[in-house]
Structure 1
Amino acid sequence: MLSHLLTTLIDDIDGDTVTLRALLEASGRQGMLLICALSSLPFLIPVSIPGVSTVFGAAIVLLACALFLNRLPWLPQRILDKPLDAARLKPVLHKGVAVVRRIDRWVQPRWPALTGWTMLRVNSAMLAFGGLLLMAPLGPIPFSNTAPAVGILLLTVGLVQRDGLFVLLGYLGLVLSVAYFSVLGYLAWTGGSMLWG
């Protein structure tokens, strides 16, 4: 179960701060997808931790690119070694795992064509796109981080547990995120036009 893997990874966090490097080293061979799932958890609940969306969003993009190229990931040192406040991050991650635990009961291997090697590049590209959406500088706007985070989580759940239905749900989540961002952009543009007019 993905929730068990994530709980174990979070419980192993020691000290006042944690870095992405430490999380990657602790997550083993499944690390890339596991870190992508973990990186979406802080945004499932309305709590803002400064700097987290940039670090985790960039990590998702770079890890997804590594999956796309079918090679080991390369991450810049300033992303790998940026200290994050463990005391604030761990409780948020555990709350995110509670969401994953509810999802776990519905996950099962199905529709293997959507999770196999032939779809690797498409799925990786969508994951990278989700990471870019997560990095968008819209933090103060409600659900601007939550919407892409849900898509990323559903997509990674589907890939880790070979569930094509959840891969499709992840795609849907990312499409809805783009629609939400488009509406925000339209409202901002029309509001600005009215002010200038």
Structure 2
Amino acid sequence: MVVLPHSEQQKLSGILQLMADSIGAETISLRDLLALVGEQGMLLFCILLTVPFLLPVSIPGISTPFGLLIVFIGVGVLLNKGPILPARLMERRFAAEQIKIILRKGASLLTRVDHVIQPRLLLLSTPRVHRCNGVVLILVAVLLMLPFGAIPFTNTLPAWVILLICIGMLQRDGVFVALGYLLAIVTLAWFSFLGIGLVVAGQSISDNLW
């Protein structure tokens, strides 16, 4: 497995494209993907885990394992230490061609924002804010794991929150962190609306049965 060279100035889209070009086997595990990330670290790995939820590419049954890994990464961010990722999840394998498609589509997606990413609003790049980011990552990752995939935006909104916050932390761009927080509020409002709707529907069914 080839480990990508580290470059602080390297575009995120370019990193994903290099990763796609470096995959040669028929299948690849999440541990292999993390090895490809190399020195770029857990935040980039977290970005990779969100990409399938942002694109019209379907890999069945990934919301729970990917969401759980993001929870562990969020805990690591909160505690300011490297997360311990479950070995069983990290050994899960996927078809290499499927992963290549996702990485290349993800690179295309990030190409649209690469040119606007820059260090700014550094007040949102402090350790205290990073701990808050960890809490938000944990919360939205749990929402990502909920079995609501058939309902619009239930995967997409949490994934965008995670993507924006991780980009902001990785590139010290406070604007992206702030956008992530704003979208987190929208996401919580959407899930609250869904939760209230489910309670009302359940109550209506119960009333009709009795």
Amino acid at match of 2:145: M
- The answer to whether structure 1 residue 12 and structure 2 residue 16 are counterparts is no
Cα RMSD, aligned residues only = 1.7
Residues 1:104 and 2:114 aligned together: yes
- Cα 1:65–1:136 shift into 2, 3 Å: same
Confirm or deny that 1:169 pairs with 2:186: no
**Structure 1: 4+ residue segments shifted above 4 A:** none
Say if 2:183 is the partner of 1:183. Answer: no
1:52–1:84: 8 Å Cα contact kept in structure 2?
A: no
CA spacing shift, 1:48–1:150, aligned 2, 3 Å: same
Q: Note if 1:137 corresponds to 2:147.
A: yes
Contact residue 111 and residue 163 of structure 1 kept, 8 A = yes
Kept after mapping to 1: 8 A contact 2:77/2:133: no
Q: Percent identity?
A: 43
Give the greater-gyration-radius structure (CA).
Answer: 2
Q: Separation in 2 of the partners of 1:119 and 1:184?
A: 29
Deviations 1:5-53 (A, max 9, x none): 2222233223222211111112122220000111111001243311222
Number of residues of Structure 1 aligned to a counterpart in Structure 2: 197
| TM-score normalised according to structure 2 size | 0.86
Residue-by-residue CA offset, 1:86-116 (whole Å, 9 max, x unaligned): 3223213322322211111221111111013
Please list the CA deviations of residues 119-147 of structure 1 after superposition, one character each: whole Å capped at 9, or x if unmatched: 22112222222222211121122221111
Q: With structure 1 as the length reference, what TM-score do the two structures score?
A: 0.91
- CA–CA distance in structure 1, aligned partners of residues 56 and 190 of structure 2: 17
Number of the residue aligned with 2:165: 155
Q: Distance in 2 between matches of 1:148 and 1:158?
A: 15
